[in-house]
């Protein structure tokens, strides 16, 4: 329905959506709640990075909440970046965001981002590859597979993010990621191997552990 209407509400804001991006979901608002707790000072010029920016719902919402912050969003899809650019314009934050075509599946991407950042957020692909075709038809058949496919165990993107974290996150900064049901212990373990200490996960409205955040 969101693709037919061409828009979806997220955090009280209206976002343009096309089949090039995931439809923003209420579950992802948990990540916004976590970020606002992690960075309580709304007046600081925080540097925020969004890995897999898609429609921009996470990064652009955070730039609205932190009016002095600047943001960088990366995505492997030029079509998704075009949607994010339109949303940045309509939400009045285009002057504080840089959108970059890049892919964490390729080597060298962390060095190209001019980090580190105070906050790194991501809603990466976390569905096991073999399980995608069994998802609800409106997801499996219409939403971009690149944004769903997390590899054989659903954790490929988290491994890449954890490995890059030393180059992406400032000392005292935060890495906060959305996770699938039951994944939070494994992802906290990946972050621990990278030297990051995780907080207790944030739960979504359904009680599922939905966001893992970690810091040096």
User: Contact at 8 Å (CB) between 68 and 43?
Assistant: yes
Q: Is CATH 3.40.50.150 correct for 2-215?
A: yes
List Cα–Cα distances, 74 to 1, 135, 214, in angstroms: 26, 26, 20
- Domains of the chain, residue spans: 2-215
Q: Rounded CA gap, 147 and 127, in Å?
A: 9
Rounded distance, CA 117 to CA 71, Å? 9
pLDDT at 87: 98
Output the tens digit of pLDDT for each of the chain's 216 residues.
777 788 999 999 999 999 999 899 999 999 999 999 999 999 999 999 999 999 999 999 999 999 999 999 999 999 999 999 999 999 999 999 999 999 887 889 999 998 899 999 999 976 665 665 665 655 544 455 565 555 667 688 899 999 999 999 999 999 999 999 999 999 999 999 999 999 999 999 999 999 999 998
Helix-helix angle 156-168:184-193, to 10 degrees? 40
pLDDT at position 141? 44
Name the burial class of residue 199, with classes exposed (0-12), middle (13-18) and buried (19+) by CB atoms within 10 angstroms of its CB: middle
Tokens of 111: 């060095």
120: nearest Cα among 174, 75, 77, 161 = 174
**DSSP of 68-90:** T-EEEEEES-HHHHHHHHHHHHH
Across the strands, what pairs with 47?
Answer: 70
Tally Cβ neighbours within 10 Å of residue 89.
13
Enter the pTM of the model: 0.91
User: Helix (H, G, I), strand (E, B), or coil: what is residue 18?
Assistant: coil
């Amino acid at each position: 329905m969101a693709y037919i209407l061409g828009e979806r509400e997220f955090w009280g804001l209206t976002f343009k959506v096309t089949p090039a991006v995931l439809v923003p979901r209420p579950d992802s608002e948990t990540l916004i709640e976590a970020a606002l707790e992690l960075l309580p000072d709304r007046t600081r010029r925080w540097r925020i990075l969004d890995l897999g920016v898609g429609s921009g719902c996470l990064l652009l919402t955070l730039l609205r909440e932190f009016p002095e912050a600047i943001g960088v969003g990366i995505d492997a899809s030029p079509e998704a970046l075009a949607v994010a650019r339109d949303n940045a314009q309509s939400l009045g934050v285009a002057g504080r965001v840089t959108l970059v075509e890049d892919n964490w599946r390729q080597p060298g991407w962390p060095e190209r981002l001019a980090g580190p950042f105070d906050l790194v957020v991501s809603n990466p692909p976390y569905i096991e590859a073999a399980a995608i075709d069994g998802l609800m038809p409106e997801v499996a058949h219409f939403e971009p597979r690149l944004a769903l496919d997390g590899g054989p165990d659903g954790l490929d993107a988290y491994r890449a993010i954890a490995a890059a974290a030393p180059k992406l996150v400032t000392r005292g900064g935060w890495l906060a990621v959305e996770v699938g049901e039951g994944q939070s212990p494994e992802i906290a373990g990946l972050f621990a191997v990278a030297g990051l200490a995780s907080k207790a996960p944030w739960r979504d409205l359904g009680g599922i552990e939905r966001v893992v955040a970690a810091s040096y």
